[in-house]
């Protein structure tokens, strides 16, 4: 009998030992799970759907911002932008961008929103781009500058240039969507290269349809008409502006003075169907494109005719359909006015 009781006690001890082992195993499993959760949280790893607009990032800048390469689409504050060409020409860094306003508000683009630095952190000086003409003469050009107001759905393609640059690993260009604030988007411009414009940035998708050539547009106190567009080696746009208000209307002067700038560069512009802007008031050795402007103000009750010409340092063979003639009035008049050429 004592043997049986001893055996039963031994079996109970084994059962309790097995239960204790199982509980220990469960504790180990729970600890392992907790450790795995903690490690995952610390690493910041999350399961998300990749964003095609910010994929294929090449590296990080010293400030921790992504550095993008040629052709990559980047979306920032309603603007979708891509760098499509990098060139080094006679000590000048020349970078071409394509962009589209994919937001709901007007986006203003200008070279002052872009900056360039060397691998050593030296800031490069912005300048008008140098172009090589057919006779191999190099001249400064404001043509195709990456500048303009973009209404929702509009595209822009242009070049920004900086002096004193040579190809080297680590050269960067930055874009600051808010003037005076640090750049938010960076591109690697270490070497020359070129890619096709991404399909998204090739076509205007107007949210507000442009006016037809010959149509008058009434603003707060002025009425302006694009009378016609003609071709004489350069593109000629003829306007009539009438002051219907009680105070003098004054055109805004250019933001940046240049020996090739028209006095109305910030009020009128011409943009090809691919988004490329054209320079106005250019004088060259082989032909002349000079604006005919009698003054920078229109008196109450007065009508004034304007003749503006546009060219990209070369005679133009035809007027491309789908091009835009753009008027940006003073801030008190309202928004931008677009006309579509025939």
* Tens digits of residue pLDDT in 291-333: 666 567 899 999 988 888 887 655 666 777 888 999 989 888 9
CA distance 64 to 210: 41
CA distance 89 to 87: 6
Domains in the chain: boundaries: 1-47, 59-201, 211-340
pLDDT at 14 > cutoff 80: no
Model confidence at 249, in pLDDT bands (50, 70, 90)? very high
CA 144 and chain centroid, separation: 14
Check if 59-201 and 211-340 are the same fold. yes
188-235 residue pLDDT tens: 999 999 999 999 999 999 988 999 999 999 999 999 999 999 887 778
Please report the pLDDT score of residue 258 as a whole number.
Answer: 40
pLDDT at 31 > cutoff 50: no
CA distance 92 to 86: 11
71-120 residue pLDDT tens: 999 999 999 999 999 999 888 999 999 999 999 999 999 888 999 999 88
- Tell me the pTM: 0.74
* Maximal C-alpha separation, the chain: 128
151-175 residue pLDDT tens: 999 999 999 999 999 999 999 999 9
Structure token digits, residue 19: 């239960």
3-class SS of residue 78: coil
> Would you list the DSSP string of 165-229?
----TT-EEEE-SSTTS---EEEE-SS-EE-PPPGGGSS---SSPPEETT-EEE-SSEEEEEEEE
211-340: what fold?
Immunoglobulin-like (2.60.40)
Residue 144 burial class via C-beta count within 10 angstroms: exposed 0-12, middle 13-18, buried 19 and up: buried
CATH number of 59-201: 2.60.40.1240
pLDDT at 40 > cutoff 50: no
Please report the pLDDT score of residue 191 as a whole number.
Answer: 95
Quick one: average pLDDT of 119-139? 80
DSSP 111: G
Please report the pLDDT score of residue 52 as a whole number.
Answer: 34
Block residue for tokens 């961008």: 97
CA distance 331 to 336: 10
CA distance 1 to 20: 29
């Amino acid at each position: 009998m004592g043997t049986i009781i001893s055996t039963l006690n031994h079996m109970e001890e084994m059962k309790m030992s097995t239960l204790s082992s199982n509980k220990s195993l469960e504790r180990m499993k729970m600890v392992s799970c907790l450790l795995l959760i903690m490690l995952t949280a610390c690493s910041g790893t999350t399961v998300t759907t990749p964003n095609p607009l910010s994929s294929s990032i090449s590296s990080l800048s010293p400030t921790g911002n992504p550095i993008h390469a040629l052709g990559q689409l980047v979306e920032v504050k309603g603007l979708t932008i891509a760098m499509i060409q990098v060139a080094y020409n006679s000590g000048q860094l020349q970078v071409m961008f394509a962009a589209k306003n994919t937001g709901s508000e007007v986006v203003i683009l200008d070279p002052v929103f872009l900056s360039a630095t060397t691998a050593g952190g030296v800031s490069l000086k912005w300048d008008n781009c140098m172009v090589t003409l057919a006779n191999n003469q190099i001249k400064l050009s404001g043509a195709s500058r990456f500048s303009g107001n973009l209404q929702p759905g509009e595209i822009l393609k242009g070049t920004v240039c900086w002096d004193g640059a040579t190809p080297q690993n680590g050269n960067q260009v930055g874009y600051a969507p808010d003037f005076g604030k640090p750049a938010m988007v960076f591109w690697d411009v270490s070497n020359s290269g070129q890619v096709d414009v991404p399909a998204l940035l090739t076509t205007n998708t107007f949210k507000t349809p442009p006016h037809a050539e010959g149509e008058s547009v009434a603003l707060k106190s002025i009425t302006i008409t694009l009378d016609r567009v003609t071709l004489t080696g350069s593109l000629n746009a003829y306007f009539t502006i009438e002051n219907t208000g009680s105070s003098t209307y004054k055109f805004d002067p250019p933001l940046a003075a240049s020996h090739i700038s028209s006095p109305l560069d910030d009020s009128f512009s011409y943009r090809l169907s691919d988004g490329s802007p054209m320079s106005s008031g250019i004088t060259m050795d082989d032909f002349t494109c000079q604006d005919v402007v009698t003054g920078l103000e229109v008196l109450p009750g007065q009508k004034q005719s304007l003749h503006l010409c546009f060219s990209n340092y070369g005679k133009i063979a035809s007027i491309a359909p789908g091009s835009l003639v753009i008027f940006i009035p003073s801030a008190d008049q309202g928004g931008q006015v677009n006309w579509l050429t025939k």
